[in-house]
Amino acid sequence: MSRFLFVVPPLTGHTNPTVTVARELAAAGHEVAWTAYREVVEKLLPPGARLIPVGPSLPSDLVGQISERSRGLRGPSAFKFLWEEFLHPLASSMVQGVEAAVDEFRPDVLVVDQQAFAGALVARRRGLRWATSATTSAEFTNPYEGLPRLGEWVVESLRAFQREQGVSEEEAARGDLRFSDHLVLVFSSRELVGAEREFPAHYRFVGPSFAGRVEDLDGFPWPWLAEVPRVLVSLGTVNAEAGDRFFRAVVEGLGGRDLQVILVAPPERVGPVPDNILVRGHVPQLALLERVDAVVSHGGHNTVCETLARGLPLVVAPIRDDQPVVAQQVVAAGAGVRVKFGRIRARDIAEAVGEVLTKPAYRAAAQRIRASFAAAGGPAAAARALEELAC
């Protein structure tokens, strides 16, 4: 049997997929552990899971101020902010803790999230086999095609990080910390990322990994749901505070129509709404996806994949980071419509929602992606690929 150490950032959407993969590995008799910042990741792991903290506490300026300082940033500015103010400092803060976790757990394989590249640095430095855990597929569709200088800047940032950690210039230029030379687990399918693209043989498209997530179903007013088309609207947990204008457009554009809208937003930021709109701060999203007909989303990779895994069409309003790339994947696959978050109008929302609800082609494309996810194999396929790497 083998030992697998998961290296994850303090981000829910990057940690959750590893839990179901680890469950498969543990069921096969392997030992699994995580190394991360305890205060964010511990509550995401199953009871009894082994977590080796990378430090005593998460640096306050990494999370406490990041949302406020990044508000309003879009495009390349938002992307550079993410790398300079979050990913790079996060990696620097994690290196020593990952080294200690490797010494304590002695893994056969490191499973390293793309945004926790301290793990990749340690793996290369120690000569360990490691796999990339790619919980967003944005990096696999050439996101810098129209911005080559931005792509070059990312590569140089990764090299600079390695030089800061004592890696020679020659070694820093070898390979890419975002992509393992041994195994890259892509939690998506070729059909969504782009079937026409070619990838190395060690890139495994395993589909989404979110089965078995526990949700609190008791707090949602299920009897409110009626026999009319239903639409779930969510900007995710991080972007809700930036969505005031968007929420107003949703209420104005969809209010009073012959459909029901479940709007995930802070109720105090939305105010009074028509009877056909329900505003909730939190919802059991997976359970609701079984009961709605379409989803309006910011284009977050997890929400998009969860939606398409149920064969539902999308309206995507990307804000920043990887969201524009993921949104374009949805549109290219024919499974949804894209609207402009920053300049959204009530009419835009109404037209986009009406289109995905009434034109069967969108649902048909979403169901095709759902089939591709199922064929990819999910957590079991990811676990098998990791077992092969450990042998």
Instruction: Copy the structure tokens of residue 92.
Output: 């620097």
Is the Cβ–Cβ distance between 263 and 282 less than 8 Å?
A: no
Contacts of the segment 154-158: beta carbons below 8 A, 24+ positions apart: 154/83, 157/83, 157/84, 157/88, 158/117
Domains detected in the chain: 3-186 (3.40.50.2000), 222-374 (3.40.50.2000)
Give the DSSP letter string of 27-75.
HTT-EEEEEE-HHHHGGGSPTT--EEESSSS--HHHHTTHHHHHTT--H
C-alpha–C-alpha distance, residues 230 and 263, integer Å: 11
**pLDDT tens digit string along 6-58?**
999 998 889 999 999 999 999 999 999 999 999 989 999 999 999 999 988 88
Q: What is the pLDDT of residues 161-212, one digit of tens each?
A: 999 999 888 888 888 999 999 999 999 999 999 877 889 999 999 999 976 5
The pTM assigned to this predicted structure is 0.89
φ/ψ region of 166 (left if φ > 0, alpha if ψ in -120 to 50, else beta) reads: left
- How does pLDDT run across 255-300, given as a tens digit for each residue? 999 999 999 999 998 989 999 999 999 999 999 999 999 999 999 9
